[in-house]
Each structure stands twice: as structure tokens, then as C-alpha cells.
Amino acid sequence: MQEIGLAEAVKAIREDLARAQLEGADEEIRFSVGPVEVEFEVAVVREGGANGKVKVWVVEVGASGKLAQTTTHRVAVTLNPQVDGKPIEVGDRLRKPGR
């Protein structure tokens, strides 16, 4: 099983939104991106005993093995994507009529 950190999962969402914005740049119809609500099932693991580091990993669907002995939790996160303090749009400009 490949461990994916919560920050890495949020980074993937950010990259997908940026890609959607670029791919929609020349589209006539645009969508404002509102709050993005995501829910993760995560495993909280303490490494190195009582004084060790605590890590949060996103659990893969169908994961087995060592996670069978690890407690999992659901974490809901609401992201409000912005560029320069403004909500982003997927497709950043309208075509002129007749194009």
C-alpha cells in the first residue's frame, strides 16, 4: 500500500482545479468554483512509541494489511479555492460573439 499524506491529497485537488482552469480558458461557458467539499478516510499512526511522531495518511479504498490494526477516522474538509484573494473560474474569459 502506498501511503498518501493529507497534504499530498489536497495538493492533487489544487492541481486538478488549476488544470481545469487552463483547459477551460478558451471556453464560452465558465463555471465559478465554489467551496470544494472533500471527505477522506484517514489513518492516524503514531511512530516510535508515546513520544513519537503522529502521521495522518489517506486510506486507499480496499486497503488491507497493516491498516487492519490501525484506527481510521473520517475527516471532512471544505476548501475555498482563490487566486489573489478572489474565487477562481474554470475558463477565465468569454469568447466574443461570432467566434
Tell which residue, 6, 14, 8, 11, has the closest CA to residue 88.
14
20 vs 5: CA distance, rounded Å: 23
Entry pTM = 0.64
- Residue 24 cell numbers, joined: 477551460
Residue with cell 513520544: 51
Q: Look at residue 82 in the predicted model and tell me its pLDDT.
A: 84
- Which residues, in sequence order, are bridge partners of residue 4? 58
Q: Could you read off the pLDDT of 22-47 as tens digits, one per residue?
A: 888 888 887 888 888 988 888 877 77
